[in-house]
Amino acid sequence: MSQLPSNSSTESSVTRIVLHIAGDSGDGIQFAGKQLTIASAHRGYAVITMPNFPAEIRAPKGSLYGVSGFQMHVGSTDIHTPGDTIDVLVAFNAAALKKALPDIPEGKIILADEDGFNPSNLKKAGFTSNPLTDGTLDNYQLITAPISKLTRQALIQTGIHSKLTQRSRNMFVLGMILWMFDLSLEETIAQLQQRFKDVPEIAQANIAALKAGWNYAETVELLQPLHLPIQENENTNAGQYTIAHGYEACVWGLLAAHKEAKRPLFFASYPITPSSDILQYIGNFLSEDVEVFQAEDEIAAIASAIGASFAGAIGTTSTSGPGFALKSEALGLAVMTELPLVVIDAQRAGPSTGMPTKTEQSDLLQALYGRNGEAPLIVLAASTPANCLEYAYWAVKLALEHITPVVLLIDAYLIMGAQRLEASALKKLPPIAPHIVSEDTTEYAPYLRNPNTLARYWAFPPMQGKMHRIGGLEKEDVSGHVSYDPENHHKMVQLRRQKVERVQQVIPPLQTEFADTGELLVLGWGSTYGSIKAAVQYLYEKGHAIGHAHLHFLHPFPKNTEQILRKFDKIVVCELNDGQLHRVLQSTFPGMKFWKYNKIQGIPFKEHELIEAFQKILTSEYSPVQHNSSS
């Protein structure tokens, strides 16, 4: 492992740190994590965060399966992933330590609340003796403190109700971490005052605990502050950047496109993990021309979105794997009627119910082909939490300009992850010109097409003189009348295919990062962007002619895809599935050889496993034996 990069150390040269906070699901871990993220970004650091919730709603206290974790990769250099291994662990109890320990290299920092290591908690975590005192952690920098007790004492002094003390423990710890990371309290205090403005007692308790934690860290000298250099060009001006979770970025992308296209936005969904966050968040933006509808099921969600599109709105819906399957028939209707529609699929481990909270990229083939009949549509994929905004925007743009359904693939990892998003990213978004029939068209034919794009012209009620009837039955070219004519059907199938293929003319070309020609091209799509980039960067800096290309447009592929692929001796396709893009590439570019590297464990790639895999491929002759993640 020594030749591989380590995220950091506590040496002064450290530029990035992976922090992991873990405790019971009721300990306020995610809230503390969110505040820490905001404070870090405010300081000018780059951050990527990743929560890890238990599947249970309220798991028994102190249990291993009830551990809620929050990981943050923070620093002054480019950060692409939430981090492979942990530099600083904050453990609220024994179970939290037990779960995180395998990911902490020796020598790293463990900060533990000794009150969370009572005999009952130790037993639940499966420890036979107390790891804080039995020597288990001798090779780590162990710092223990009676955090529960200290929080209680701090709050008693301020005269605050004792019931609030246990719940304020997360703020005491946050105070300690903020001190350790050399971050100021001001931003967090302002956030707490805003968040709890209707319950001043809770705001007061949280702020008192936060300050007490900060003061404790400063006083006891157990900790050493970790000074991360600030990146000069990071913008710390509030309003110019924000922290974006994937689900928020999706919503902002839809809203930005709605503003740009000047069409009403209709969003309908049915709760399903992990896509529900989008449904929950978008409700904050209800307005005269933004409608949010929680439907009775997945089918009603997409069907109502289709109805909205027929009525002139941007029909959108979100779902995850099993729900995406339920939407198949209606998606076929959108293909047949040629209506603008956006379906966001937050993929999770399947098949069937699978592992609902775990990430996977296994809905690609379903998105491309999972409908009856010949039913092509546009498929996009975002690759970072922040660029969910850009691709949600593109999904709306392509739907409205080509009058056709678009599937945007994201996944559990993207939707829950968070990173900085700069306001400047919005300035780079292209304009949107919905393909609406011109008002002075007198003889409206619903399937008359734009000769360049083959998109039909969108007309909707209550436009005068543009009344038309469309539906799932095959229709006559141009007129749209129901038709069973054999030649017409053949023609319409091809027109629908060509219309989607011509989108190639307007989408950005595929880019390569690091080497743009040479030994090995690593090709990925979706949420694996960060891990692949980090691994390729490492090998490139070691002198290999290795490049990284990431597909955001999966159907159709960018025009220059083959040209890029041919610039490298070897190509490896990395995916969190059993080789779905690999299969598509093999059939799209017959005769080309693609290696593959796959992982189907419900978790993202680690940087070091990719480095090892790429090193093997770089030094191997081509062999039909495929490399797969095993372990």
Partner 1 sequence: MNSNSGYKAFLSDQDVRWCPGCDDYIILRAFARALAAIGLPPERHVVVSGIGCASRLPYYVNTYGLHGIHGRAPAIATGVKLVHPDLYVWVITGDGDALAIGTNHFLHAIRRNLDINILLFNNEIYGLTKGQFSPTSRLDLKTRSSPQGNIQPPFHIGSLVLGADVSFFARVPGNDLNAMTKVFVEAARHKGTSVVEILQNCPVFNDGVFHPVTDKSTAVDHALWVEHGRPLIYGKDGKRGIVRDGCGLRPIRWESEQPPSEVMVHDEKVDNPSYAFALTQLSDPMVFGIIRRMRRPTYEERSQALKQKVAQSAIVHDFIRKAILQENT
Applying CB under 8 A, the residues found at the interface with partner 1 are: 194, 238-242, 252, 255-256, 259, 264, 266, 268, 283-288, 291, 293, 295-297, 299-300, 303-313, 315, 329-330, 332-333, 337, 423, 426, 460-473, 481-482
Q: Which residues, including other chains, have CB under 8 Å from residue 170's CB and lie 6 or more apart?
A: 23, 27, 28, 29, 31, 32
Smallest separation (angstroms) from partner 1 to the CB of 399: 15
The label of the residue with tokens 């992308």 reads 253
Smallest separation (angstroms) from partner 1 to the CB of 311: 4
Q: Which two tokens stand for residue 2?
A: 């020594």
Closest to partner 1 by CB, 143 or 382: 382
Smallest separation (angstroms) from partner 1 to the CB of 297: 6
E strand or H helix at 64, and its extent?
none
Range 74-90 burial, b when 16+ CB lie within 10 A, else e: bbbeebbbbbbbbbbbb
Choose among 506, 476, 495: nearest CA to 401.
506
Closest to partner 1 by CB, 334 or 412: 334
Report the amino acid identity of residue 263.
R
Closest to partner 1 by CB, 299 or 493: 299
8 Å CB contact between 596 and 579: yes
Smallest separation (angstroms) from partner 1 to the CB of 193: 13
Q: Is 465 left (phi over 0), alpha (psi -120 to 50) or beta?
A: left
Closest to partner 1 by CB, 470 or 600: 470
Closest to partner 1 by CB, 294 or 629: 294
Smallest separation (angstroms) from partner 1 to the CB of 315: 6
Closest to partner 1 by CB, 23 or 312: 312
Surface-to-core class of residue 374, CB atoms within 10 Å of its CB (0-12 exposed, 13-18 middle, 19+ buried): middle
Closest to partner 1 by CB, 179 or 266: 266
Smallest separation (angstroms) from partner 1 to the CB of 329: 6
Cα distance between residue 49 and residue 386, in whole Å: 12
8 Å CB contact between 123 and 95: no
The label of the residue with tokens 């995220």 reads 7
Smallest separation (angstroms) from partner 1 to the CB of 492: 16
Smallest separation (angstroms) from partner 1 to the CB of 387: 15
563-569 LR contacts (CB < 8 Å, sep 24+): 564/510, 564/512, 564/521, 565/521, 565/523, 565/589, 565/592, 566/592, 567/512, 567/516, 567/517, 567/518, 567/521, 568/517, 568/518, 568/519, 568/520, 568/521, 569/518, 569/519, 569/520
Cα distance between residue 334 and residue 329, in whole Å: 9
Closest to partner 1 by CB, 214 or 310: 310
Q: Calculate ∠ Cα 402-403-408, nearest 5°.
A: 80
Smallest separation (angstroms) from partner 1 to the CB of 299: 6
Closest to partner 1 by CB, 179 or 241: 241
